């Protein structure tokens, strides 16, 4: 099955967004920036889901995209609460300085 060029453009854009998020997770040390990169990755996945929804004309994909949006909102709220708690306890949010689980 040949994909329309518009769908390919959406998928390339989603891959670029996802790759930027993945690179940010690997390179950055700040927990808040890492959470923003996870949000970028989830948005890249959402664009992919919606591109296939448009290509197949099926609206059931929209429920999956909405679920990913809800998951991203929950992740942001929980992540921010964890960052605040870690900052109060340790005084830093840099990942290379956090060694809470080391013995």
Query: Which residue range is the domain that position 60 belongs to?
Result: 5-95
Average pLDDT over residues 95-101: 71
- Taking alpha carbons only, the member of 12, 73, 11 closest to residue 42 is 73
Query: Based on the structure, what is the number of domains in the chain?
Result: 1
Mind listing the pLDDT tens digit for each residue in 77-95? 998 898 888 888 888 878 7
3-class DSSP state of 98: coil
Beta strand residue intervals within the chain, DSSP E: none
pLDDT above 90 (res 62): no
Q: Is residue 72 part of a domain?
A: yes
pTM above 0.75?
Answer: yes
Q: Is residue 100 part of a domain?
A: no
Mind listing the pLDDT tens digit for each residue in 17-50? 999 999 999 998 888 888 899 999 999 999 998 8
With the CA atoms of 19, 24, 26 and 29 taken in that order, what torsion angle do they form, in degrees rounded to the nearest 10? -170
- Taking alpha carbons only, the member of 42, 72, 47, 74 closest to residue 61 is 47
User: Domain containing 46 — which CATH number?
Assistant: 1.10.287.3510
Q: Exposed (0-12), middle (13-18) or buried (19+): which is 89, by Cβ within 10 Å?
A: exposed
Q: Which residues contact 20 (CB under 8 A, 6 or more apart)?
A: 37, 40
């Amino acid at each position: 099955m040949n994909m329309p060029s518009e769908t390919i453009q959406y998928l390339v854009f989603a891959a670029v967004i996802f790759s930027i998020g993945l690179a940010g997770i690997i390179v950055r040390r700040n927990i808040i920036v890492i959470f923003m990169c996870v949000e970028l990755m989830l948005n890249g996945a959402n664009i992919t889901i919606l591109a296939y929804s448009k290509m197949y004309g099926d609206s059931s994909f929209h429920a999956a995209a909405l679920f990913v949006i809800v998951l991203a909102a929950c992740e942001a709220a929980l992540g921010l609460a964890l960052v605040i708690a870690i900052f109060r306890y340790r005084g830093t949010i840099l990942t290379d300085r956090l060694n809470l689980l080391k013995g």
